[in-house]
Amino acid sequence: MPIEYQFKPNIISKHDFYAIDYQVMGLVFSIHNELGRLWNEKIYQNELAYRCQKAGFAKVATEVVIKVSYLDFLKCFYVDLIFNDAVIYELKTSQCLTGEHQQQVLNYLFLLGMQHGKLINMRPPSVESRFVSTRLTPDKRYNYKIEDNHWQDVDEDSIRLKELILNLLNEWGAFLDTTLFYDTIIHFNGGEENVVKMIEAKEGNRTMGRQKVHLINPEVAFNISSMTKDEQYYEHNLRKFLSYASLKAIQWINFNHDLIIFKTIFR
């Protein structure tokens, strides 16, 4: 199976989610008050799991493993807490919650086919929390569209790159975090030492410096994004980047919800 986990998700209503969250957050506040805000995530996770079990939750699971595979590629994700097979909780000890934290929880919800989760940050003086929910079902994640009229198979590596992305979408569906696709491409191209390379930024004969770039070969880079707005501005910046890079082209794949755009940008 391309996506594996050892339980059956329980799809619940928003009302039931809020009922669970009301109990959980009461325990979160008590932990924050009693333990303070300077411990690590694992300690808060263990304590919240213990108190929820003591409070009578039907099922409390920690470090729930999600295995995502394709051929000999395997990546494991670990969800902090899942209550009653229905709600994901991710605990953080950061200065503040970010969009990356929210994307992490969404990625877990999509992989598990669940709809409700919550981020909790224990580091601030007052507990910071954020609801993360989706109405997207697993079936809808596989109902995506491909737009590739501006893509060019400039070499065999580009052909293989596109075939791999299409195969992964067929296996895993859309809407997932782009790092999963990066990791898979790196794996099937021999590891980071073969893919992540330093290139020069040059203006004429003057070298401004060097930067790491993802390459499928010495002349062609690839970029995977999840832009849902301002795509033209992002493309404009890719073209600016390419004008100073020692590259022939960038193969750009953008995940805009259910629209997957393949585009080749030339120097």
pLDDT digits (tens, 9 = 90+) for 145-185: 999 999 999 999 999 999 999 999 999 999 999 999 999 99
Q: Specify which residues 223 forms β-bridges with.
A: 252
Beta-bridge mates of residue 62: 81
Q: Are 75 and 54 in the same domain?
A: yes
Q: Do 13 and 114 share a domain, yes or no?
A: yes
- Predicted local confidence at residue 1, as pLDDT: 80
Q: Looking at the structure, do residues 159 and 130 belong to the same domain, yes or no?
A: no
Do 111 and 165 have their domain in common? no
What gap in Å lies between CA 34 and CA 43, rounded to an integer? Answer: 13
The per-residue pLDDT for 63 is 97
One domain, residues 161 and 254 = yes
Pair (157, 251) in one structural domain: yes
Residues 18 and 118 in one domain: yes
Residue with token string 């259910």: 258
Q: Single out the residue in 108, 135, 162 at which a domain terminates.
A: 135
Q: Pick out the chain residues at pLDDT < 70.
A: none
| Number of other CB atoms surrounding residue 218 within 10 Å | 11
Please tell me whether residues 153 and 232 are part of one structural domain.
yes
**Beta carbons within 8 Å of 103's beta carbon, 6+ residues apart:** 177
Same-domain status, 105 and 176: no
- Do 14 and 122 reside in the same domain of the chain? yes
The residue ranges of DSSP E strands in the chain, in sequence order, are 3-4, 60-70, 73-83, 87-92, 116-121, 128-133, 145-150, 196-203, 206-217, 220-225, 249-256, 259-266
Look at the chain and report how many structural domains it folds into. Answer: 2
User: What sign does the dihedral 47-50-52-54 (CA atoms) show?
Assistant: negative
Domain boundary among 135, 155, 190: 135
Query: Distance (Å, rounded) from C-alpha 113 to C-alpha 10?
Result: 9
Domain range for 245: 142-266
